Amino acid sequence: MRRPLPPLNALRAFEAIARHLSFARAADELHVTPAALSHQIKGLEDQLGVPLFHRRARSIELTEAGDMLYPGLHAGFEALHDAIGRLGRRKEDRFLVISATPGFTAKWLVPRLWKFLNQHPEVDPRLAASLAVADFTADGVDVAIRLSDGHHPELYVEKLFDDSVVPVCSPRLIEAGLRTVDDLARFSLIHYDIPTSSQRPPNWSEWLEVAGAHGIDGSRGLRFNVADHALDAAVAAAGVSMSYKLIASDDVHNGRLVIPFGPQLPITERAYHFVCPKGHETRPKVRAFRDWLFAEMAETKAKWVPFDAATSTGSSR
């Protein structure tokens, strides 16, 4: 029969004291008092029947018995810490932190995320919606979807899709007489203003100029600093919103919004990109999300064809 082991706390106290050769430093590490450690060591020595330390005036040394006990005990605690660490890292590997803009997250990603969860129950996504560019190290982000020029030499980058800027409104505004660009003079314009200079939001004034509109003040109307709020206002028939086509696509396909007329303005200087730290693209959870994301985007693009044709042939004046 094996000899019963001493209490774990006493063994942990001995290992820390022997490693530091100091009761005070060991007490700091274990968040107890030196007196408490002395009490534990006394009990351990009594149970083992041998002294473990030579106590000097200003120092301590291991006895022969202490020298015999320490290496194996130290290795055991190191192995224990390593095992607990691996278990913790395995749990952390379930988490996938995804950074994207609030509008993309709310209007495109979240409505589809249930599919990813069904396909990959081993992954727990954590969404970090922000207009700020993610810091993969400081923010603990695994992947990001960025609207940018794609120049991120320090990162792994794949182009996800190109987008366009389109006007959208509730079908109720069509019923109220919105037919051409000139009719916009009778309806409120809805604006999405980004409070940072890193991105340029859809701009009514630029669109009206390309559309050849005259006598319409492109600066008037409602303003929001969140893209999905601007679209929600359009759904509520509060006016006509200028929007990225992607984040309006579900509302258009479901009939909550319509694209009343062209033109669609391609965004030429930027595109959406899938981004992650170099080397991380092969990690199973990152690869799973990347493959799912591109498949979903291909499906979304296929649904664009009908209303692309409608707005390209419809009159804007």
Looking at residue 80, which CATH number applies to its domain?
1.10.10.10
Q: Closest by alpha carbon to 240, among 294, 292, 264, 204?
A: 204
Of 91, 108, 124, the residue at which a domain comes to its end is 91
pLDDT given for residue 80 in this prediction: 83
276 or 214: which leads in pLDDT = 276
High-pLDDT (> 90) share of the chain, %: 66
Say if residue 73 is in the same domain as residue 149. Answer: no
pLDDT over threshold 60, residue 104: yes
pLDDT given for residue 274 in this prediction: 97
pLDDT over threshold 60, residue 308: no
Verify cis geometry, omega within 30 degrees of 0, for the bond prior to 263: yes
pLDDT given for residue 99 in this prediction: 95
pLDDT over threshold 70, residue 114: yes
Range of the domain at 71: 8-91
**N residues, the chain:** 317
The number of beta carbons lying within 10 Å of the beta carbon of residue 214 is 11
**Considering just the CA atoms, what is the radius of gyration of the chain in Å?**
32
Helix axis angle for 23-30 and 8-20, nearest 10°, is 130
The residue type at 53: F
pLDDT over threshold 70, residue 198: no
60/23 Cα distance (integer angstroms): 9
pLDDT given for residue 298 in this prediction: 94
pLDDT over threshold 50, residue 225: yes
pLDDT given for residue 309 in this prediction: 44
Say if residue 80 is in the same domain as residue 227. Answer: no
pLDDT given for residue 262 in this prediction: 87
pLDDT over threshold 80, residue 84: no
- Which residues lie below 8 Å from residue 221, measured CB to CB, with a gap of 6+? 188, 189, 190, 191, 204, 239
pLDDT given for residue 195 in this prediction: 60
pLDDT in tens, 134-175: 888 888 899 999 988 889 999 999 999 999 999 999 999 999
pLDDT given for residue 12 in this prediction: 92
Q: State the average pLDDT over residues 36-49.
A: 91
Say if residue 135 is in the same domain as residue 85. Answer: no
pLDDT over threshold 70, residue 222: yes
Say if residue 116 is in the same domain as residue 155. Answer: yes
pLDDT over threshold 60, residue 310: no
Alpha helices in 31-63 (DSSP H): 34-48
The residue type at 109: L
- Answer yes or no: are the C-beta atoms of 43 and 13 closer than 8 Å: no
Say if residue 107 is in the same domain as residue 188. Answer: yes
DSSP conformation class of 246: H
pLDDT given for residue 208 in this prediction: 93
Output the pTM of the full model: 0.68
Q: How far is CA 89 from CA 66, 76, 78, 121, 123, in A?
A: 34, 20, 16, 18, 14
Of 62, 91, 120, the residue at which a domain comes to its end is 91
Q: Is residue 2 part of a domain?
A: no
Alpha helices in the chain (DSSP H): 8-20, 23-30, 34-48, 64-92, 102-104, 110-119, 171-175, 204-211, 227-235, 245-253, 284-313
- Answer yes or no: are the C-beta atoms of 222 and 273 closer than 8 Å: no
pLDDT given for residue 141 in this prediction: 94
299/70 Cα distance (integer angstroms): 62
- Answer yes or no: are the C-beta atoms of 61 and 53 closer than 8 Å: yes
pLDDT over threshold 50, residue 312: no
Tokens of 261: 């007329």
pLDDT over threshold 70, residue 196: no
Number of domains in the chain: 2
pLDDT given for residue 273 in this prediction: 95
- Answer yes or no: are the C-beta atoms of 145 and 275 closer than 8 Å: yes
Say if residue 236 is in the same domain as residue 283. Answer: yes
Say if residue 138 is in the same domain as residue 49. Answer: no
Q: Closest by alpha carbon to 20, among 29, 7, 10?
A: 29
pLDDT given for residue 315 in this prediction: 44
Q: Is residue 1 part of a domain?
A: no
